[in-house]
Amino acid sequence: MSDKTQTKEIEKVEETKAEKPKKHRNLGYKIIIVLLLLTLVAGAGVWAYTTGKLDFIFNPTPAEEEKVELKHTDTITAKTDGVYITDVSEVVDEVMPSIVAITSKTVINSGLFDFFFFGTNTPKSYTTEGAGSGVIVAEDDENLYILTNNHVVKDASELSVQFIDDTSHDASIKGVSKRKDIAIVSVSKSGIENETLKKIKIATLGDSNKLKVGNGVIAIGNALGYGQSVTIGVVSALNREITTEDYTQEMIQTDAAINGGNSGGALLNSKGEVVGINSVKYSQNGTITSASIEGMGFAIPISDVAELIASLIKGEDDKELTLGIEGYMTNSGNIANYKLPEGLYVSAITAGGNAEKSELEIGNIITEIEGNKVTSLDSVRKALNKKQHGGTVTLKVKYASRNEYKEKEIIVTLQ
């Protein structure tokens, strides 16, 4: 009961007591006392309920502490009274010294000439600047080695790397893999101040094969060139096949915000381990760019490129893997007219190529590669892109034997 209500009740009783006989006066007082007691009890109940709710949010009881306790390996804690507590600051503090911003400068030939204005046929050119990210993955006595995307450094005439203390240093490309869209750039330690060297750290690489859909992840990178920023999300899907003009590979899909400039940055698990290299996102028109659509970013699984990273640090460029053959896809016409099996017809074998060292022969028709049906030249390229140098690929081929085609399996070593 409110104070205003109480006042009205008291006034009503006082107006009445003058009219009533004296013997009823005690009854009026008793009513007032009862009402006051009821008000106090109700108020105490509301206070206790409200205090109990606040105490539950900010000071969990022992039974609830296990559910909401923040740990170093937690990114999102349990729901408490409708409130989610999210705190990745400890992980970010640990990892941020391993993340760098990368600036590239590329000279573009416009294709236009100054002949009409200056009497010269020298093509005009201009310089464009790009922004990306990178992760410090190794060092030796002379250099720091930074992992990034190939498309971040592709065709760059100049590269610079900015560390956590905002100091910038020239960098050079050490090794690249076009088919996996990764690159290693190096920065000489001789030009880096000791104070900066004390602040930076080598990142810890995790195991992306252990990821599960729904796992919490953190993305760090130089989004839109504004400097390092942090976004969080979950693993939305695994083994998503992504195709660009340069490569086809399986990636981690996440709803953590990834934008232009995030390319080459780290996708982290809740322990602060690098499990992916942020690379692309879907755009509104269905292409892979940094525009429009939210919640569909993709990262290269770190376990898929771990061995390759070591090779690139040594300066060994990752050349595209090939079978070392020439051929064409059989079509409905020659399948019907010549009774050819559907697949890739081998018309020539390249001297010194991988197929030359195998049992593959001219006239063979490759019908399957790694257990998948060969429906186009691109399906062969996709299968090879998933392999490592020195690995093997299994082919199922059909070969002519008198008046019929027989089938056999051939293994080709990829060098």
Is residue 137 exposed (0-12), middle (13-18) or buried (19+ Cβ within 10 Å)?
buried
pLDDT of residue 334 exceeding 80, the answer is no
CATH 2.40.10.10 placement within the chain: 95-199, 208-309
**292 vs 298: CA distance, rounded Å:** 14
**Residue keyed to tokens 């101040």:** 193
Catalytic residues: 151, 181, 263
CATH 2.30.42.10 placement within the chain: 325-413
Is residue 210 exposed (0-12), middle (13-18) or buried (19+ Cβ within 10 Å)?
exposed
Helix H or strand E encompassing 410: strand 404-413
**287 vs 298: CA distance, rounded Å:** 13
Q: Inter-axis angle of helices 25-58 and 3-17, to 10 degrees?
A: 170
pLDDT of residue 193 exceeding 90, the answer is yes
**252 vs 305: CA distance, rounded Å:** 13
CATH of domain 95-199: 2.40.10.10
CATH of domain 208-309: 2.40.10.10
Q: Which residues are paired to 102 by β-bridges?
A: 132, 161
Averaged pLDDT for residues 15-41:
54
Q: Which residues are paired to 406 by β-bridges?
A: 399
Rg (CA), the chain: 35
With pLDDT > 90 as the criterion, what percentage of the chain qualifies? Answer: 44
Q: Which of 307, 331, 325 is nearest to 410 (CA)?
A: 325
pLDDT of residue 312 exceeding 90, the answer is yes
**202 vs 309: CA distance, rounded Å:** 14
| DSSP characters over 194-245 | HHHHHH--PPPB--GGG--TT-EEEEEE-GGGS--EEEEEEEEEEEEEEE-S
Q: Which of 273, 209, 268 is nearest to 239 (CA)?
A: 209
pLDDT computed for residue 43 by the predictor: 54
Averaged pLDDT for residues 139-158:
92
- Name the DSSP class of 164: T
Q: Which residues are paired to 410 by β-bridges?
A: 395
The least confident of 2-11, 141-150, 337-346, 389-398 is 2-11
pLDDT of residue 379 exceeding 90, the answer is no
pLDDT of residue 296 exceeding 80, the answer is yes
Phi, psi of 117 (to 5 degrees): -100, -40
Considering the four listed CATH numbers 3.30.450.370, 3.40.50.300, 3.40.1360.10, 2.30.42.10, the one that applies to the domain covering 325-413 is 2.30.42.10
**81 vs 237: CA distance, rounded Å:** 29
Phi, psi of 296 (to 5 degrees): -135, 70
pLDDT computed for residue 323 by the predictor: 92
The answer to whether the beta carbons of residues 239 and 250 sit under 8 Å apart is yes
**173 vs 189: CA distance, rounded Å:** 15
Find how far residue 151's CA is from the centre of its chain. Answer: 15
pLDDT of residue 76 exceeding 50, the answer is no
pLDDT computed for residue 285 by the predictor: 52
Averaged pLDDT for residues 7-31:
48
What does the pLDDT look like over 200-246, one tens digit per residue?
999 999 999 999 999 999 999 888 878 888 999 999 999 998 877 77
Q: At 373, which amino acid appears?
A: K
Averaged pLDDT for residues 36-52:
49
pLDDT computed for residue 306 by the predictor: 92
pTM of the model: 0.68
Averaged pLDDT for residues 149-168:
92
* 3-class SS of residue 97: helix
**183 vs 41: CA distance, rounded Å:** 72
Pair of tokens at residue 331 = 């079509």
**Residue keyed to tokens 């070593």:** 413
Pair of tokens at residue 375 = 């429906």
pLDDT of residue 60 exceeding 80, the answer is no
- Name the DSSP class of 163: -
Q: Which of 174, 177, 255, 181 is nearest to 219 (CA)?
A: 255
Residue-averaged pLDDT of the chain: 78
